[in-house]
Copies of this chain bind each other. A is one copy, B any other.
Amino acid sequence: MTPHATVVESLRQEGYRLTPQRMMILDIINDSVSHMSAEEIHQKVRERYPFVNISTVYRTLNLLKRLRLISETDLGEGYVRYELLERERHHHLVCRRCGESFALEHDFLKPLQLRLLKKYGFAADLDHFAIFGLCQRCRSGEGTAAAGKEGQHGAD
C-alpha cells in the first residue's frame, strides 16, 4: 500500500525529496496496525530492502515529526512509538503498577483542547497522549504488578 497521497504531497510541497527509503518507511508506518518503534520500523523496512540504515529511519522519523505527519508517543517503554497522524486520534491510559495499557477515545481530551485554545490561544498537540496512573484492578488491590514502570511518563 502506498502512503496516503496527502503525506506524499506534504513532503513534496515542502521541497523534500521522495526517496525510496522515505517511501518504504512511510509504507511501513502506513501499513502497520498500531504505532511502532524506530527499531521495529527499521526491521520491517529491511525485510523489503536490507540496506536501509537505522539512522536514515531516525532521520526520516524526525522529518515526518517536524512536519507533523506522524506522532511520537512515549508509553514508558524506554523508547518512543510512531504513528501516522491521519489515523483516528486515540490515547492511552497506562497503569504504573501492572503496565497494562487501555485505549482512550479522543473525545475525552477534546474539552481540554478546546479550553486551552479559548483561554490561552494555545493549540495543544493532543494527538496521541499517554496518561499514567493506577488502573481499576490495581487500585482494588488485586494488581498483577507485572511489568509496572514507576513514575509519570510522557504523553507524546
Contact = CB atoms under 8 A, between A and B. Distances in A.
Interface of A: 62, 65-66, 71-74, 93, 95-96, 102, 104, 108-109, 111-112, 115-116, 120-136, 139, 150-156
Chain B CB within 10 Å — which of A74, A111, A128, A152 has the most? A152
Contacts of A155: 129, 131, 152-155
A88 B125 CA distance: 25
A57 to B, nearest CB: 15
Contact of A127 (B109, B123, B134, B152): B152
Contact of A121 (B109, B121, B135): B135
A136 B112 CA distance: 16
Contact of A71 (B130, B135, B152): B152
A125 B132 CA distance: 6
A133 B154 CA distance: 14
Contacts of A136: 120-122
B124 A93 contact: yes
B122 A133 contact: yes
Given A131-B126, A134-B122, A152 B111 contact: no
Nearest to A82: B151
25 contacts: A62-B150, A71-B152, A72-B152, A73-B152, A74-B153, A74-B154, A93-B116, A93-B120, A95-B122, A96-B125, A102-B120, A108-B115, A112-B112, A122-B134, A122-B135, A123-B133, A123-B139, A125-B132, A125-B134, A125-B152, A128-B152, A131-B155, A152-B155, A152-B156, A154-B154
